[in-house]
Amino acid sequence: MCNLYTMTATVDELRRLFGGFEGDTVNLSPFDEIYPGRTAPMLRRDQGGALRLDMMTWGFPGPVAAKGRPVTNVRNLDSPFWRSALGNVDRGCIVPVTRFCEWSAKADPATKRKVKHWFGMHEAHDPLFAFAGLWRPGAKDGSDEDGSNGPFMAFLTCDANATVGAIHPKAMPVMLRPADALGWLTHDRDSACALAIPFADADMVRLEL
């Protein structure tokens, strides 16, 4: 489960790779470490079909069964929890990313803490890519019953490839190249499920930081 990523691209870099968009784009500070519950930039289509840059809280408010914990990753595409969003093309979004983290399974013997392992695009490619995401509005007053501010977003995960699986074998985010990302915004449920496949190992690396 990916619960930490980075987005350090500028507005100009986002426009260069994803095309023109609307929204509050005067300035966009680097997001060095994005954790669940924090706001982060994402791109979606508005009701008129225009591409918009919006800020959203990472993590759908969780169901009662999950004790209200935010749900950050879309793993089970057949779950009723995601059914309405997956079936509604207007709920698709793309989440710009420059790298993401998976934690080691075991703690470091010296520090007693799990170790961060970062992943990103191979140096032959632009470092910016996207996660295939879903979003939902908050309550009418701008927040949900638990007080968290909406709107909210989460992103799809899939089986891990060999690169990510060496650290976290259970799953990895669904990664999209910029050239393919806008196509996600026209998804239907079948195409969403078809996209939920491991990213090519040859096109990504574990980063040495």
pLDDT (average), residues 87-111? 88
At residue 161 the predicted structure's pLDDT band, cuts being 50, 70 and 90, is very high
Determine how many CB atoms are found less than 10 A away from the CB of residue 146: 10
At residue 149 the predicted structure's pLDDT band, cuts being 50, 70 and 90, is low
Quick check: bond before 137 cis, omega within 30? no
Kindly tell me if the per-residue pLDDT of 156 is higher than 60: yes
Q: So what's the pLDDT on residue 22? A: 85
Kindly tell me if the per-residue pLDDT of 18 is higher than 80: yes
Query: If residue 56 lies in a helix (H) or strand (E), which one and from where to where?
Result: strand 51-58
5-207, what's its fold?
A: hypothetical protein yedk fold (3.90.1680)
Share of the chain above pLDDT 70, in %: 90
Kindly tell me if the per-residue pLDDT of 148 is higher than 70: no
At residue 140 the predicted structure's pLDDT band, cuts being 50, 70 and 90, is low
Q: So what's the pLDDT on residue 24? A: 67
Kindly tell me if the per-residue pLDDT of 141 is higher than 70: no
Lowest mean pLDDT among 61-65, 108-112, 153-157, 194-198: 61-65
Q: Tell me the one-letter amino acid at 121.
A: M
Highest mean pLDDT (candidates 62-66, 101-105, 122-126, 171-175): 171-175
pLDDT (average), residues 35-62? 92
pLDDT (average), residues 67-89? 82
Q: So what's the pLDDT on residue 209? A: 63
Alpha carbon distance 167, 100 (integer Å): 13
Alpha carbon distance 94, 138 (integer Å): 18
Q: pTM of the prediction? A: 0.89
pLDDT (average), residues 131-136? 94
Kindly tell me if the per-residue pLDDT of 122 is higher than 90: yes
Residue position matching structure tokens 């096109």: 203
Paired sense of beta strands 5-7 and 51-58, if any: unpaired
For the chain, helix, strand, coil in percent to 5 are 20, 35, 45
The dihedral of CA 157, 96, 61, 34: what is its sign?
A: positive
Q: Tell me the one-letter amino acid at 59.
A: G
Share of the chain above pLDDT 90, in %: 51
Alpha carbon distance 68, 199 (integer Å): 31
Q: Closest Cα to residue 104, out of 169, 35, 168, 171?
A: 168
